[in-house]
A and B are shown apart, each in its own frame.
Chain A
């Protein structure tokens, strides 16, 4: 199978994020970046499919220069090659605009399977994979934990709410959005890191893909969330805070 995995670089989970001066985005100066977690699971699923059924794994991402290390990380883990959609204005495009870029790049490759994480940790829209499927006219399934190749296509395990699951069968080519936890993630080996340096990363600019970038949804302003409750913060050393908490739970909240 020829598999394309669409990945996204997002701010590292523990990174301190600050709102930028315009109030429309986050201040990227000094920010640490990482591979989006569910995309890492999508990549893992692709690599395992290749190990079982043969084929090729191509990672695809859109973003500015800084996504380079994230692409190398995916290549070091075992992807065969990469496509980098060079794009400085990702934040000004809406979900449809980004999906149009990805779909245009995917179309040139005619893959059998397209995988992506179910949602990004930064915007959390959870839509990219589904819109890509719509734009390419392909069937899709979301929140997938297991993928099995069958004679007629794929059989996948889909997560439902509250501990329920469902099997779904669909023909290929298809798009799947991968939920985290279905596989154990691998680490890049030293050999993998070395090999990654020589693997092909094809650059294509957003302009070359010539897709409509006019957004229909605008992110107007970002802000710190409003507190839903007044939290009593308990100061002091660990011991002092712990003692204060026991007092509070016993005599104020009366839950012990």
Chain B
């Protein structure tokens, strides 16, 4: 059992950014274990993806190709990768923690008697793998003790895609045995939800509201602040789940990714699903009653207080400052 296998995911015909980050994590692990890194691409036609991966400083690229892998299905990907892993016996398999990976990697690991260590944010000596617990309020260090390969999925943004150097790797084919009867799910084409009329991605100032607002009737407090600032209004998922604001105003892994000059988070605890959508903001302000809320870990300025007192005061202060 040797070698670090990194499974890449395609996005718009290219290797996704999250996949390069997974390679960076794989290289870190490979450096620690003194083992080479192999990139794995899957699909019905993988030539372009394989060539893109092969231009990096990795040991090799494996093209797992089969007509039944044209479209992602958990059944197809799990079976193809299980065959590859059994055939080539890597010591670790690293994947980007995407929705697609979440859909099949737990089954893949289980099929081989292992357990995926999901959503890893750091790799330490041992190796130990750090992931968040209780929505980011605590972190846990995990170790793989099984006698098969370890499986790790890495959180978006936790490892640096630009750490992957250019190089030239050999490309090898691998043809799994797949049968159409094995593929039990029939996926349809992806579609957008309601027409997007709000482009939070280009907003310079954003006021985002979370569960701390307690009731839809309290939203005018946040709206007033946004108006005083000339900011767009955004929200964390629970607000949109409750139908208090439309889904298109949602920031986070299932909503929009934003990087404004100012992101003012009101009553948002800072679960990772939200943080991945906004941590690239230039200046982050958090207002939350819980001084231990994880949102304060990424904030530049914080007010630990009752938002029902702080919001009106802040709106007033902005007006008084002539903004």
- In the bound complex, how far is the Cα of B128 from the Cα of A188, in angstroms? 43
Q: Choose from A127, A135, A158, A169 the contact partner of B118 (Cβ within 8 Å).
A: A127
- Contacting A160 at CB < 8 Å: which of B99, B240, B286, B300? B99
User: Residue A171 contacts which of B99, B184, B229 (CB distance < 8 angstroms)?
Assistant: B184
Interface of chain A residues 34 through 72 with chain B (CB within 8 A): none
Main secondary structure on chain B at its contact with chain A?
Answer: mixed
A88-129 residues at the B interface, CB under 8 angstroms? 94-96, 99, 121-127
**What band does the interface of chain B fall in when counting residues whose beta carbon is under 8 Å from A?**
35 or more
Whether the pair A134, B111 counts as a contact (CB closer than 8 A) is yes
Q: Tell me if A21 is interfacial: C-beta within 8 Å of chain B.
A: no
Q: Are A239 and B133 in contact (CB under 8 A)?
A: no
Q: What residue of chain A has the Cβ atom nearest to residue B250's Cβ?
A: A163
Whether B99 and A222, one on each chain, are in contact in the complex, defined by CB atoms closer than 8 angstroms, is no
| Given A170-B184, A225-B132, residue A19 in contact with residue B107 (CB < 8 A) | no
**B residues less than 8 Å from A246 (CB atoms):** 314, 317-318, 321, 323
Whether A14 sits at the interface, judged by CB under 8 Å, is yes
- Name the residue of chain B whose CB is nearest to the CB of A225: B139
Asked whether any CB of chain A lies closer than 8 Å to the CB of B117, the reply is yes
List chain B residues, Cβ under 8 A from A234. 301-303
8 A Cβ contacts from A203-256 to B: 215-229, 231-234, 238-239, 241-243, 245-246, 248-250, 253, 255-256
A87: Cβ under 8 A from any B Cβ: no
Tell me the chain B residues, 175-216 only, with Cβ under 8 Å from chain A: 184-193, 196, 205, 211
Is the beta-carbon distance between B317 and A180 smaller than 8 angstroms? no
Cβ–Cβ < 8 Å partners of A242 in chain B: 303, 310, 313-314, 316-317
A97's closest neighbor in chain B, by CB?
Answer: B115
- Check A140 against B139 for contact (C-beta < 8 Å): no
Q: Does A198 reach chain B (CB closer than 8 Å)?
A: no
Q: How far is the CA of A179 from the CA of B250 in the complex (A)?
A: 15
B116 near A: Cβ within 8 Å? Answer: yes
Q: Which of B185, B196, B257, B297 has the most CB of A within 10 A?
A: B185
Q: How far is the CB of A31 from chain B (nearest CB, A)?
A: 11
Q: Which residue of A lies closest to B303 (CB)?
A: A241
Docked CA distance A160–B184 (Å): 19
Q: B10 interface residue, CB < 8 Å from A?
A: no
CB of B110 to closest CB in A, whole Å: 5
**A255 & B262 in contact (Cβ 8 Å cutoff):** yes
Checking A134, A143, A179, A216 against B106 with a beta-carbon cut-off of 8 angstroms, the contacting residue is A134
Contact B186 A215 (CB under 8 A): no
Query: Are B140 and A222 within 8 A (Cβ)?
Result: yes
List residues of chain B with CB within 8 A of the CB of A238: 303, 305-306, 309-310, 312-313
CA distance A165 to B191 in the complex (A): 5
* B89 interface hit (Cβ, 8 Å): no
A193 interface residue per 8 A CB criterion: no
Which A residues touch B148, using CB under 8 A?
Answer: 216
A229 CA to B143 CA in the complex, in Å? 27
Chain B residue nearest to A223 (CB atoms) is B139
Q: Which residues of A contact B318 (CB under 8 A)?
A: 246
Nearest-neighbour CB distance to chain A for B177, whole angstroms, equals: 18
Least distance between A34 CB and chain B CB atoms (Å): 13
Interface residue A131 (Cβ < 8 Å from any Cβ of B): yes
Q: Which DSSP category, helix, strand, loop or mixed, fits chain A's interface?
A: mixed
Q: Mark B259-284, 1 if CB is under 8 A from A, else 0.
A: 00110000001001000000100111
B31 within 8 A of A: no
A164 to B254, CA, bound (A): 8
- Contact assessment for B302 and A231 in the assembled complex, using a CB-CB cutoff below 8 Å: yes
Q: Tell me the B21-70 residues at the A interface (CB within 8 Å).
A: none
- Bound CA span A165–B196, Å: 14
| Beta-carbon nearest neighbor of B212 in chain A | A14
In the bound assembly, the distance between CA atoms of A189 and B98 in angstroms comes to: 39
Residues on A with beta carbons closer than 8 Å to the beta carbon of B297: 225-229, 231
Check if A167 sits within 8 Å of B188, measured CB to CB: yes
Which residues of chain A are within 8 angstroms of B188 by Cβ–Cβ distance? 166-169
A162 on the B face (CB < 8 A):
yes
Q: What is the CA–CA distance of A79 and B157 in the complex, to the nearest angstrom?
A: 41
Pairs A–B under 8 Å by Cβ, sample size 28: A14-B290, A17-B134, A121-B135, A122-B134, A124-B131, A126-B102, A142-B99, A163-B254, A164-B193, A165-B193, A179-B254, A217-B114, A218-B142, A218-B145, A219-B140, A224-B138, A225-B132, A225-B294, A231-B300, A231-B301, A234-B301, A238-B312, A241-B313, A242-B317, A248-B301, A249-B283, A255-B205, A255-B261
Please give 19 more A-B residue pairs, beta carbons under 8 A apart, in addition to A161-B254, A217-B145.
A19-B138, A96-B109, A96-B115, A130-B104, A139-B75, A161-B99, A165-B190, A165-B191, A167-B188, A168-B188, A215-B145, A233-B291, A238-B303, A238-B305, A239-B317, A245-B303, A246-B318, A250-B323, A253-B301
- Which 6 pairs between the two chains have the least Cβ-Cβ distance? A216-B146, A181-B241, A127-B106, A238-B309, A139-B184, A242-B313
Which residues of B are interface residues toward A (Cβ below 8 A)? 74-75, 78, 98-99, 102-104, 106-107, 109-111, 113-119, 128, 131-146, 148, 184-193, 196, 205, 211, 229, 237-238, 240-241, 243, 247-248, 253-257, 261-262, 269, 272, 279, 282-286, 290-291, 294, 296-306, 309-310, 312-314, 316-318, 321, 323
